[in-house]
Amino acid sequence: MNNKVDDKKIDDKKITQKDLMKVNIRWLLGGQLGWNYERMQGLPYCYAIIPILKKLYPDKEDLKKALKLHLQFFNTEPDMAHLILGANIAIEEKEGLKAEEAITGIKTGLMGPFAGIGDTIYGVIAGTVFGSIAAYMALNGNSLGIWIWTIWLVFRWILRWWFMKLGYAQGTKLVTTLSGKMKNITEAASILGLTVIGALIPTVIRANVPYVFTSGKVEMKLQGIFDQIMPALIPVALVGLVYWVLGKKKMTSTKTILLLMVLAVLLFNFKILS
């Protein structure tokens, strides 16, 4: 993967590979510690970029100005932030505080779209795929799925460092280079996610109908009839119902959980589900 980033070129400048690594580690270990409602990742962003500021601004007044600049509002998906940090460092190294507006511009301009992409790929899709494999195996008493998930999560650390170098190498060009490619990746990832979800519905939702028809000597299990129509008919219907409920105004996931629990108690006691 490193072949796309010219390592040698990085080392020729004021900012060394080592400086980038320092920022990388700081963000990896402290990128959300100071997260707060007012400026979200503002404090952590400043914390992460401090090694660069120290190097670029020997003058104390400049340093103060830079610290204040980087304490401002920032919030994005933590992995994607490495790209933004990298691009930010490239601009700041070249232009210094003259580029104050460009720096704020690239930070605020990229954080929104990158949060969308990062949350979709890392949060929604990867979370679904690895989470379902882990849960599926765990329900059968096997912890292997958890370790598969962990390996992926640790692999993300390597990606983060690569993002950092990529962002630094690309600088302001980052926006145009990545946006097209990212759209395709997000698109493909959604397909993977949806395929797994399709498989998840019949495997992890457990809902059986214990009701038995008796007419004369003939006994007929209602569940058996459902199974003939389609396997996992009840789970499919449940997902459809909850999907619909979630689309209602003022319906939150918390309210839906409570609703489902009440529903479960009722259905159990009326012997509709077991």
203 binds other proteins (CB under 8 A): yes
223 binds other proteins (CB under 8 A): no
120 binds other proteins (CB under 8 A): yes
Closer to other proteins by CB, 10 or 256: give it.
256
Closer to other proteins by CB, 109 or 202: give it.
202
176 binds other proteins (CB under 8 A): no
Residues 88-107 that bind other proteins (CB under 8 A): none
261 binds other proteins (CB under 8 A): yes
264 binds other proteins (CB under 8 A): yes
137 binds other proteins (CB under 8 A): yes
Q: How far is the CB of 19 from other proteins (least distance, A)?
A: 15
Binding mask 22-41 for other proteins (x = CB under 8 A): ------xxxxxxxxxxxxx-
Interacting residue with other proteins among 19, 20, 24, 44 (CB under 8 A):
44
197 binds other proteins (CB under 8 A): yes
Q: How far is the CB of 110 from other proteins (least distance, A)?
A: 15
Q: What is the DSSP string of the chain?
A: -GGGS-HHHHHTSSS-HHHHHHHHHHHHHHTTTT-BTTTBTHHHHHHHHHHHHHHH--SHHHHHHHHHHHTS-B---HHHHHHHHHHHHHHHHHHGGGGHHHHHHHHHHHHHHHHHHHIIIIIIIIHHHHHHHHHHHHHTT--HHHHHHHHHHHHHHHHHHHHHHHHHHHGGGHHHHHHHHHHHHHHHHHHHHHHHHHHHHHHH-------EEEETTEEEEHHHHHHHH-TTHHHHHHHHHHHHHHTSTT--HHHHHHHHHHHHHHHHHTTS--
In single-letter form, the type of residue at position 69 comes to: L
Closer to other proteins by CB, 99 or 135: give it.
135
How many whole angstroms separate alpha carbon 144 and alpha carbon 225?
36
How many residues interact with other proteins (rule CB under 8 A)? 114
231 binds other proteins (CB under 8 A): yes
Q: How far is the CB of 236 from other proteins (least distance, A)?
A: 8
The dihedral over CA atoms of 95, 6, 118, 155, expressed in degrees to the nearest 10, equals -140
Q: How far is the CB of 237 from other proteins (least distance, A)?
A: 9
274 binds other proteins (CB under 8 A): yes
Closer to other proteins by CB, 99 or 146: give it.
146
How many whole angstroms separate alpha carbon 174 and alpha carbon 80?
12
Interacting residue with other proteins among 229, 243, 248, 249 (CB under 8 A):
243
